[in-house]
Structure 1
Amino acid sequence: MEAIATKPESSLAQRWNTLLQEQPKLRIRNAAQQLGVSELELLLTRDQGVRPLRHEFGALLCDMDDVGDVMILTRNDQVVHEVTATFNQFKVAGKGAMGLAVGDIDVRVFLNQWAYGYLVTENTGQINRESLQFFSTYGLALHKIYKTEATDSAAWDALLGNYLDNSSTAPQLAPVPAKASRVDANTVDVDALRNDWAKLKDVHHFHAMLKRNKVDRRTALELVGSEWVTRLKPSAQDVLSPLDAILAQAKASQCAIMVFVGNPGIVQIFAGKVDRLMRTGPWMNVLDKGFNLHANTDGIKDWFVVRRPSSDGTITSLEGYNTDGEIVITLFGDRKPGNPESADWQREVEVLESSLCA
């Protein structure tokens, strides 16, 4: 963090207040970036409305079933993914390091990255909005769960009674590490990579394959060849991003899709059809009941169509990467394990490639 992060808390709070007067709609994540601190540091300058949770986050998520509908939010710097639904049988695995829910709420959680959690109460001017917010050891916001009008208030309050921590001390945040550098392509055995890629039987084995070949995902896409990867470009009008195009196609054809968005602590997934699409400046939005997506496509530098073999046939994805080479959004055709990919999705991707092939 910059030296600004070590200034007295009151000074940071005052500077945040000044920033909000200049930019009343500024989100806390963006305010933290402008002030050179983590989101958690900024959140903790509030005099009230922030109460710590016990560090039992896996158990807390397992107990979410009875609460009813909540809105869950996962984001990275380029994409915000929101789903409103009910948790169903969240399970913890990997000796507590991982967890998942599969259903209307579909998440893969890396609990070893979750260091701090808080109940946050915000006065919106009309109501008090409550959320559970979870952060990394660096103060990065990983995931948020919002109480909605459909949430069972008694069950929500009972949950809070079990997990609020009245003895918690102030967090000791670690310095943010430098971003991992890309692998030097000259050090990669390209023939071995291509051979291993062609032998994939399950898309879930993809990360292990990359690790075995000592290559990061973004570099692998550049090296594996056109049989498996197509790089896309914006339209000639320089208006339409590949995301705009594929969402418009999926809406028109009623092709069900899956949208994955993640950060170091979680991957959040939506599966279904999209309808209400809206472009607002750099942001491409899906504004459907139960699912909202907000993608700042100006910050998504590279788009690829990626194909991987599996025992169910070829699996095709559209992947977006930021300027650091980090994947920030992935789209698939809606598919259950053991079933082949839908022909509808394959056709939509082929149309996309024909119009936006680099």
Structure 2
Amino acid sequence: MNLNPIYTDPYSPQALKQEWSELCLAIPRLRIREAAATLNVSEAELLATECGSTVTRLNLDWPLIFESLSATGPVMALTRNDFAVHETTGLYTVTDHSDDGCRVESNTVNLQLLTQVIHVAFGVKEASPNGPRFSLQFFAADGSAIHKLYMTAASDLKMYHALIKQLTSADQSQHQAIQSPPRFNRFNIATFNSRRVTQTTTHLHRDTEDFYSGLIKMGIVSPLVETSSSTLTFLRPDLFHPVLNKVAAQDLYITICVRNYGCIQVYQGPIQNIRITGPWFNILDEHFSLHLNTEAVSGFRVNTQSTDGKQVLKTLEIIDANHQMIALILLNAGQETDNVNLWNELIAEEISRGNCLG
């Protein structure tokens, strides 16, 4: 199998399509993200090889997209980074949008999407055990996936197909032009700022600041955090399963956040169905799923933030070997004092048992 070097133009879409087909035969159930990595190309380049068949390249008419998605009925929204996949199912209700991005907030789907980061979109039809599966997928200029929307059994497929027809681009070639990847690591993100989109390569603490600033803008975290002081405690990586089991047993309403450099997606509520599959820690609930690659987790930061000596936020920051955040977990705002105390005691118990790193 001849692997195409990434970001080399031109390449042969026909050869790439053949290599993808051979790879799928050799490794059944291989996901497109892993296939793209194996073939040394981006997801967008791989999908484009199916244009004219099961994939449709789309124009980015955001007002039409937002209006139509709000009327499509329940969808499954998916946002991921290298080590975590966050899925929520519900209405895709766009509550605010501008030239920079949009805010989606409904019964369960809660996210902020930076449309400035998105350069190409596809309508995708793929086979599944339950029949054809339809999705709308958005990609950055380097061909990496930013956000995906999958139709569900309760979605209005007539609305979806009408939207795809209206958005269909005149360009349905099987070649997808992409830009070279940014010269910074995978977790340097776009700042979630309504006035501009910036990118940074400087300090790791900016990674944390940008994550929290995005959550402040979404109303997930109090603005008080901007002026608060922080105390960091590091916990061992193998505590993730027992800590989340305790959260599930206590029926605590928590917030779980995953982001990449173009989207922050949030779930707020209880968790119930926890399963371990190989290296993957999974939460598999009715309207929410989380898939976390535990092999990438180097530990937790317990971030206790306070203003004027009063505790306002205690979060679990799941970090990788570079101390950059994979995901963020905190207690939902506005809960009763008993639940706040229970959450704090749960974390304090692990610290007191000597489960700290370093």
If the length of structure 1 is used for normalisation, what is the TM-score? 0.80
- Matching residue's letter, 1:183: H
Measured in 2, the distance between the counterparts of 1:302 and 1:332 equals 16
Match of 2:316 in 1: 318
CA contact (8 A) 1:62 1:90 kept: no
Match of 2:68 in 1: 63
Match of 1:22 in 2: 26
Measured in 1, the distance between the counterparts of 2:80 and 2:46 equals 18
CA contact (8 A) 1:78 1:299 kept: yes
Deviation by residue 1:36-81 (Cα, 9 ceiling, x = unmatched): 1111111112251111222123641343221111111111110011
For the aligned residues, what is the CA RMSD? 3.2
Give the 3-state SS of the residue equivalent to 1:319 in structure 2: strand
Measured in 2, the distance between the counterparts of 1:184 and 1:313 equals 24
Structure 1 residues 288 and 156, CA gap change in structure 2 (3 angstroms)? same
How many pairs align? Answer: 321
Aligned pair partner of 1:99 in 99, 102, 110: 102
- Matching residue's letter, 1:342: V
Give the 3-state SS of the residue equivalent to 2:321 in structure 1: coil
CA contact (8 A) 2:110 2:267 kept: yes
CA contact (8 A) 1:88 1:101 kept: yes
Match of 2:274 in 1: 277
Unaligned runs of 5+ in 1: 194-199, 211-223, 235-240
Moved more, 296-305 or 273-282: 296-305
Measured in 1, the distance between the counterparts of 2:204 and 2:250 equals 41
If the length of structure 2 is used for normalisation, what is the TM-score? 0.80
CA contact (8 A) 1:81 1:268 kept: yes
Matched, 1:84 2:89: yes
Unaligned runs of 5+ in 2: 186-200, 210-215
Measured in 2, the distance between the counterparts of 1:229 and 1:114 equals 34
CA contact (8 A) 2:92 2:109 kept: yes
Measured in 1, the distance between the counterparts of 2:298 and 2:287 equals 28
Structure 1 residues 209 and 323, CA gap change in structure 2 (3 angstroms)? farther
Structure 1 residues 310 and 100, CA gap change in structure 2 (3 angstroms)? farther
Give the 3-state SS of the residue equivalent to 1:138 in structure 2: coil
Structure 1 residues 165 and 21, CA gap change in structure 2 (3 angstroms)? same
Match of 2:5 in 1: 3
Moved more, 108-117 or 14-23: 14-23
Offset, 1:245: 2.4
Q: Where do residues 130-209 of structure 1 align in structure 2 (5 Å cutoff)?
A: 130-167=134-171, 171-180=176-185, 183=203, 203=221
Offset, 1:330: 0.3
Structure 1 residues 125 and 102, CA gap change in structure 2 (3 angstroms)? closer
Matched, 1:350 2:348: yes
Structure 1 residues 125 and 270, CA gap change in structure 2 (3 angstroms)? closer
Match of 2:260 in 1: 263
Offset, 1:126: 4.9
- Matching residue's letter, 2:260: N
Structure 1 residues 310 and 141, CA gap change in structure 2 (3 angstroms)? farther
CA contact (8 A) 1:262 1:329 kept: yes
Match of 1:331 in 2: 329
**Percentage of identical aligned residues:** 26
